[in-house]
Amino acid sequence: MKPIVYLLLLLSASAFAQDGERFLKSCASMMATNRAPQSRFFFAERREKSRLDTLTRNAQNDRFRAINYLWQRDYEQADLWLEKTSVTYPKESGAIGELYLLELRDYQRALKHFDAYDALTPAFDDIVYNSPVSYFKGLAYQGLGDHQRAIEQFSAGIDSLVHKHGAEWVNYRHFISRAVSYIALQQPEKALTDLGFALKNFNRSALAQYHRGRALRQLNRTQEAQTAFQDASFFFKALRAERTIDFQEDDHNLLYEPDIDEALQNLKTLNR
Amino acid sequence: MKADCILLLNRFCPGVFHVINSSSFILFFAASSLLTSLLFAQPSNRDQLVGTWIGVHAEWDIDFVCPLPTYIRLNADSTYQLGMVDGSASPLTSTWSVQGESVRIDTIHYAPEMVRMQGDLLRIGTTYPLVFRRFTDIPADSAQVHRQLTAKSWQAGNVVINLFANGKASLEDVVTKQRTAHFWRLARFGSSVFLIIRGNQYTRDGNYKPIWQIVANSAKSVKMIGWNGKSISTETFQLLKPLSPTDSCRASGFQTCDNCYRSMWHEVALGRSHKRYDVLQLLTKYYQPVHRAGQSGLIQIKFVVNCNGESGLFSTTGFDEDYCPKVFDERITTQLLTLCRNQIAVDESFRANRNPDSRPQDAAITLAFRLKDGNITDILP
């Protein structure tokens, strides 16, 4: 009995000490963090702003300043610095357009910057990060609901990559994006061709299977559509387990599990 | 340093930089170096560092500090201790030394100037400096101090400390009338007694408020050393009134559970997660579009849900399509605010800790809705 009493006493003491130990460990780790000056202040907005004020102006620093404001959700200042950076450093326009597209969902502004970037070298499909600017222009048109123009731009990007490197080197997301617009324009056969290319380049894509299911449904091939949606559901769960809970295959084409479940449910209702 | 001075000169005295000749520059920097060395004496003499240092705060930003309830003991025999002033954890023990311009504490080798003394303050680091004050032991009788402090209200300047007999405490700002709820106790440290205020309206756990060392006490006043928000000073708290059991020890309004709350640290971003899907579903279900040309741009709603699920600190900001400030139709903002307050703020998943063994946290939620002519077209990540 005695050891149990001691154990209970020890447990209660350790429960009390737990918070203190946590503070102590946090202080010890802060002391280690402070052993040398750091180049950026990640958790100190005002200190970080002061640091940025002292930097010489260049494309990278100005863009970083804009991104900093985006993180802080100060959209007025973010827009000011995005525009300023684009005007001062035209070669940054592609990256600026991508920020308007991805972070601000401002398709008009994104297009303006992508067009300016593309115009720098009219005979060449300029690259933004790892994709041709045409691909991003396609996404912007897609966001505006102009799927015909989106397809034109996606095609320009895909064709340039196929011409240079071959279809197997095209990012499968480009094919999916074009397929999404084909589906929107009720052209499921073309969408299926693109989704076939996409699955050839990444055969475990839940996103490609989901849109394949949608295209097949437009063609009334409901049994195949059901298989595609089931595959989408399987790969979605597999990818979620492999990566993180919030994983998205494509930040520009978001897919959620209830979308797949709903598609499957609708098919069942249709088959009744 | 030199670059900073040039920038400062240029900012405050435009044009001056061009007329300063090289000799005056040398004089200027010699003077500034002297001033710096006087303010931040290098710990070349390890004797200056020997002693016990009581934590004041961690300087997280220019305008934001968090109380530091720890102490550092740097003994002359090169032994070192890092502990909690209230004794809530066993101290960590190791050794320390001074090597040229560098200081080693435990296994951490500090670069030159990372451990600096500023009068009776010890500053460790420059990124998020930890500030300690030199400790002088002032004997006090904890039982007698407890008898005098308990069930009374004490005031120094604009701050009122209410110390209830049941261990609850509240801190009140007499100007803003804001009151927060905590718990209090006395802690012995050496022969000294410290007033420890910590925890929140729900629990004794959680962050600390600034800790105060008792200097002297009488029936009508108590003198304590601590951080008063501007500096380390000895403050005299006058007896305001005895507290009766009917006096409220509750917070005056919404209170975060974390005493050292900063929205950036508690931010729960929608990103492209499943939560974004849920919010979109809520919008589809509850939002009635107000079709009106010109109601376009962004509406940003910020609010906080504390660890117990209470929400507060709601704010709304509007931006037009050129990202300039804009006031949107009240029918739109009211709907979105109601949605945030009644649907999103009550969703427990927003404040769930990713670590299932940890307690729920405060959650700072910011949602930005993109609108076109009164229709919601998107939610920003």
Site from A14, A16, A23 to mutate, B interface, most B CB atoms within 10 angstroms: A23
Per residue, the 3-state secondary structure of B183-223, as one string, reads: EEEEEEECCEEEEEEECCCCCCCCCECCCEEEEEECCCEEE
Nearest to B263 by CA among B125, B60, B126, B70: B60
End-to-end CA distance of chain B: 39
What band does A41 get if pLDDT is binned at 50, 70 and 90?
Answer: confident
Cβ contact, residue pair A17, B90, below 8 Å: yes
The pLDDT tens digits of the residues spanning A146-159 come to 999 999 999 999 99
Residues of B within 8 A of A27 (CB-CB) are 55, 68, 70, 82, 130
Cβ atoms of residues B370 and B381 within 8 Å: no
pLDDT of B22 > 60? The answer is: no
Residue A18 pLDDT:
59
What HEC string does chain B produce? CHHHHHHHHHHHCCCHHHHCCHHHHHHHHHHHHHHHHHHCECCCCHHHHCEEEEEEEEEEECCEEEECCEEEEECCCCEEEEEECCCCCCCEEEEEEEECCEEEECCEEECCCCEEEECCEEEECCCCCEEEEECCCCCCCHHHHHHHHCCEEEEECCEEEEECCCCEEEEEECCCCCEEEEEEEEEEECCEEEEEEECCCCCCCCCECCCEEEEEECCCEEEEEEECCCCEEEEEEEEEEECCCCCCCCCCCCCCCCCCCCHHHHEECCCCCHHHHHHHHHHHHHCCCCCCCCCCEEEEEEEEECCCCCEEEEEEEEECCCCCECCCCHHHHHHHHHHHHHHHCCCHHHCCCCCCCCCCCCEEEEEEEEEECCEEEEECC
Q: How far is B322 from chain A (nearest CA, A)?
A: 8
Residue A252 has pLDDT above 90, yes or no: yes
CATH class of the domain whose range is B46-134: mainly beta
Query: In sequence order, which residues have a C-beta less than 8 Å from that of residue B99 and are 6 or more positions away?
Result: none
- The two three-digit tokens of residue B153, written as one number: 């209200």
Distance CA B130, CA B58 (A): 4
With a CB-CB cutoff of 8 Å, which residues 190-219 of chain B face chain A? 205-206, 208
Dump pLDDT digits (tens) for A206-244: 999 999 999 999 999 999 999 999 999 999 999 888 877
Q: Is it the case that residue A39 has pLDDT exceeding 90?
A: no
Q: Is the pLDDT of residue B44 over 60?
A: no
Q: Give the total residue count for chain A.
A: 272
Fill in the DSSP letter of residue A173. Answer: H
Strands B192-198 and B179-189, by their bridges, are: antiparallel
Task: Record the tokens describing residue A154, joined without a space.
Answer: 């996606």
- Give residue B80's pLDDT: 96
Residue of B92, B127, B272 lying closest to A251 (CB–CB): B272
Alpha-carbon Rg for chain A, nearest whole angstrom, is 25
What confidence tens digit (pLDDT) does each residue in B330-378 have?
Answer: 999 999 999 999 999 998 887 766 566 677 889 999 999 999 999 999 9
**Each residue's pLDDT tens digit, A75-125:** 999 999 999 999 999 999 999 999 999 999 999 999 999 999 999 988 788
Read off φ and ψ for residue B47, nearest 5 degrees: -60, -30
Q: Is residue B298 within 8 Å of A79, Cβ to Cβ?
A: no
B46-134 and B142-242: identical CATH topology: yes
- Looking at the DSSP assignment, which residues form a beta bridge with residue B300? B317, B368
Cα separation, B202 vs A36, in Å, equals 38
Cα distance between residue B311 and residue B255, in whole Å: 9
CA distances from B321 to A99, A104, A108, A209, B136 (A): 16, 11, 10, 36, 60
Backbone angles phi, psi at A14, to 5 degrees: -70, -30
CA distances from B262 to A48, B66, B209, B303 (A): 16, 10, 15, 12
User: Is the per-residue pLDDT at B295 higher than 60?
Assistant: yes
Query: Average pLDDT for residues B115-122, to the nearest whole number?
Result: 91
Across chain B, mean pLDDT equals 86
pLDDT of residue B249: 84
Cα→Cα distances A95→A90, A135, B298, B303, Å:
10, 13, 22, 31
- In the prediction, which pLDDT does B241 show? 94
What's the gap in Å between the CA of B82 and the closest CA on chain A? 8
Give the pLDDT confidence score for residue B353 in this predicted structure.
Answer: 62
Q: Of B263, B264, B345, which is closest to residue B308 (Cα–Cα)? A: B345
A36 and B70 within 8 Å at the Cβ level: the answer is no
Residue A22's pLDDT is what?
87
What phi and psi, each to the nearest 5 degrees, are found at residue B232?
Answer: -85, 125
pLDDT of residue B99: 87
Any CB–CB contact under 8 A between A248 and chain B? yes
Closest CA to A269 of A222, A234, A236, A232: A222
Q: Which residue of A has its CA nearest to B365?
A: A73
Percent of chain A with pLDDT over 70: 92
- The answer, for A78 touching chain B at a CB cutoff of 8 Å, is yes
The whole-number pLDDT of residue B109 equals 94
List CB contacts (< 8 A) between A17 and chain B: 88-90
**Quick one: what percent of chain B has pLDDT higher than 90?**
70
Q: What is the per-residue burial (b if ≥16 Cβ within 10 Å, else e) of B84-123?
A: bbbebbeebeeebebeeebbbbeebebeeebbbbeeebbb
Q: Reply yes or no on whether the pLDDT at B23 is more than 60.
A: no
Return the pLDDT at B45: 77
pLDDT for position B101:
85
Q: What is the pLDDT of residue A245?
A: 67
Comparing A142 with A123, which gets the higher pLDDT? Answer: A142
Residue B260, chain A, CB below 8 Å: the answer is no
Q: What is the pLDDT of residue B355?
A: 62
Residue A56 per-residue DSSP state: P
If one counts every other C-beta atom within 10 angstroms of the C-beta of residue A200, the result is: 14
pLDDT at A52: 87
Between vectors from CA B2 to CA B18 and to CA B116, what angle results, nearest 5°? 155
A44 — contact with chain B (CB < 8 Å)? yes
Q: Does B64 touch chain A (CB under 8 A)?
A: yes
pLDDT of residue B354: 58
Q: What is the arithmetic mean of pLDDT over B22-33? A: 42
Which of A191, A222, A226, A229 has its CA nearest to residue A207? A229
d(CA B111, CA A58): 30
For chain A, percent of residues with pLDDT exceeding 90: 71
Task: Flag if B3 and A54 touch (Cβ within 8 Å).
Answer: yes
Distance CA A137, CA B291 (A): 29
- Measured between beta carbons, the chain A residues lying within 8 angstroms of B61 are 41, 43-47
Q: DSSP letter at A219? A: T
Residue B24 pLDDT > 70: no
Q: How far apart are CA B136 and CA B86, in angstroms?
A: 16
> Chain B: residue nearest A39 by CA?
B127
Highest-scoring range by mean pLDDT, A268-272, B32-36, B250-254: B250-254
- Give the CATH number of domain B142-242: 2.40.128.570
Domain parsing of chain B, residue ranges: 2-39, 46-134, 142-242, 263-379
pLDDT confidence of residue B357: 61
- Helix ranges (H only) for A145-256 are 147-165, 172-184, 188-201, 206-218, 222-242
Angle (CA) A241 A245 A246, round 5°: 135
pLDDT at B268: 86
Which whole number is the average pLDDT over B122-126? 93
Question: Is residue A1 scored above 80 in pLDDT?
Answer: no
Name which residue leads in pLDDT, A89 or A15.
Answer: A89
Asked if B291 contacts B374 with a C-beta cutoff of 8 angstroms, the reply is: yes
C-alpha A237 chain-centroid distance: 19
User: How much of chain B exceeds pLDDT 70, in percent?
Assistant: 87
What residues are paired with B196 via a beta bridge? B185
For chain B, say whether A104 makes contact (Cβ under 8 Å): yes
Residue A29: band (very low, low, confident or very high) from pLDDT cuts 50, 70, 90: very high
Is the pLDDT at B253 greater than 50? The verdict is yes
Task: Tell me whether A262 touches chain B (CB under 8 Å).
Answer: no
Q: What average pLDDT does range A35-53 have in this prediction?
A: 84
Give the integer Cα–Cα distance in Å for A16 and B244. 29
Return the residue in B128, B194, B198, B361 with the most chain A beta carbons within 10 A, the one to mutate for interface testing: B128
Closest CA to A182 of A196, A201, A171, A170: A196
User: What pLDDT is attached to residue B55?
Assistant: 96
> B345 or B14, which is more confident?
B345
